[in-house]
Structures are given as structure tokens and as C-alpha cells.
Structure 1
Amino acid sequence: MSAHQYDEGHTVAGWTGFGIATVGSAVAGVGVCTVSAPLIGGGLGIVVVSLLVTWALHLTGWGKPPGRRDRAQWGMRVRDPLARAGHPGCVGCRLAGRGRVAEEHAVVVPRESAQVGETVG
């Protein structure tokens, strides 16, 4: 078993977001040292931009889901072909409206422990 099967974050989306967030943190740090509110705000703004850029790259296939992947997907510069449908359990995909189960396919399972006359809700 190779360690590359679980290389979470080692993607174009992950490293790009990390690089932009590092610059934003450095700008905010300089702002703290020089007591400059515009630099602190600008640095925090850059960190927010890094979040949005990472999310956009993930949705376009440059970020991969956690867990095991096929050997062909191990490389950092390999796009994820399943990103369009959404990754199961991925918060970013859920926020973008991907990977949701349609309401008509949802299964309602009644609780077996409900007492007679008790409302199950």
C-alpha cells in the first residue's frame, strides 16, 4: 500500500490556495507589526480570496476528494474526472449544489422504537 493513496491536499487547488493564503497572512502580519489597519484588512481579504480560488479550482477538477484513488489519479497535475458530479461528503461540492440526493429518491425510515400513539417526527 502506497502513501500516495491518501495524499489529501497535494493538488493544484490545495497548493495554489496555500500560496495565496501565505501571502495574505504575511501582509496581515506586517499590518499587525506596523499597526496598520489597511494592511491587516488587505491581508485578511487576500486570505478570503485564497479560499474562493481554492474552491473554484476544486470545482473545476483540480482538487480531489479524500480517500483512496486509482493509480492514474495519484499525480498532482491530474484533473479529477468525477468533479462535475460532486464528491460524496464534500462540503465544497455541497455548497455548490453538487452531489446532492434528489428529494424524490430520499427514503423515509420510521423509527421502530416509537410507542403506540406517539408522534414520530
Structure 2
Amino acid sequence: MSAHGHVDLGHTVAGWTGTTLALLGFAGAGVSVCAAWAPGIWIGLAVVAVAGAVTWVLHLAGWGKPSGPRPEADWDWRTRDGAARTGHADCLGCRVGGTRRTLAAAPGPVAPRPAEPLPAADGGA
């Protein structure tokens, strides 16, 4: 058991890749600040921005996870998310991913209930 208890911390391919790229970009920008090398600062910041884009693309490709906890069988970081193809209903990244994804993730219209039949009218006899 970890220090955080028995919970889903959301370790995914998208998360690990984005975190690694962001760490490398931030470290490169920090070293460039210490070395007073302005182009290195911009390169490091660009790598941080690329990290966000790569994480988003990997999430849309199914290598991320939906919001909230997952079933324990899906906790492995290499588990692919099959629901990402149509988009997650409450996911900003999926909504930004495009109209098709948003429409697929949105709840469908509720079918109207059939009208109740009117009572038969007697002819007064």
C-alpha cells in the first residue's frame, strides 16, 4: 500500500509523458536563466507548451483517463481508455477536441413519452 492509500492516482501514458516533457522544458529554461542564454529560455518554455499539447493529443487518443476514479482493474498506467474515442461527457479537453467529439459525448435527447389515449366518448345512451 502506498502513502496515499488504495486510490486511483491517474497514472497514464499521457500523464507520464506530459509530466516528463514539462519537467525537461522547465529544467532547460531554468539552466538557461542561470547561464543568461535567452534563446534557451524560450526553447525551454516552448517544450513546456509542447508538453501540454502532447498530453492533450494522447488523452484524445485514449492514453489518458476520464475524470473521476477508475475501476481497480484499469489502474495500470498502460491501460488504454476505450471511451476516449467518442469523448468524455464532462471533459474540457474532449470538448475542445472538436464538434464531433462533443456531440458524441453529450447526452442524447430524451425520447418523449407517448401520449395517453383519450377515454372513449359514449353516445349518451
- Normalising by the smaller structure, the TM-score range is 0.7 to 0.9
Paired position in structure 1 for 2:45: 44
Paired position in structure 2 for 1:83: 84
- Show structure 1 runs of 5+ residues with no match: 107-121
Q: Kindly state the Cα deviation for residue 88 of structure 1 after the two structures are TM-superposed.
A: 2.0
Q: Secondary structure, in 3 states, of the residue corresponding to 1:19?
A: helix
Partner deviation per Cα, 1:28-52 (whole Å, 9 max, x = no partner): 0011111111000000011111111
Partner deviation per Cα, 1:76-120 (whole Å, 9 max, x = no partner): 101001001111221111110223438x949xxxxxxxxxxxxxx
Paired position in structure 1 for 2:66: 65
Would you say how many aligned residue pairs link Structure 1 and Structure 2? 102
Task: Give the alignment partner of residue 7 of structure 1, picking from 6, 9, 16.
Answer: 9
| Partner Cα distance (2:84, 2:73) in 1 | 15
Paired position in structure 2 for 1:118: none
**Contact 2:67–2:90, Cα closer than 8 Å, also in 1:** no
Aligned amino acid, residue 56 of structure 1: V
**Distance verdict in 2 for CA 1:50–1:32, change over 3 Å:** same
Partner deviation per Cα, 1:13-69 (whole Å, 9 max, x = no partner): 000000011110011001111111100000001111111111111011000012122
Larger Rg: 2
| Partner Cα distance (1:51, 1:68) in 2 | 22
| Partner Cα distance (2:35, 2:83) in 1 | 46
- Give the TM-score taking structure 2 as reference length: 0.73
Task: Give the alignment partner of residue 99 of structure 1, picking from 95, 99, 102.
Answer: 102
Runs of 4+ aligned structure 1 residues displaced above 3 Å come to 99-102
- Give the TM-score taking structure 1 as reference length: 0.75
Identity over aligned pairs, percent:
50
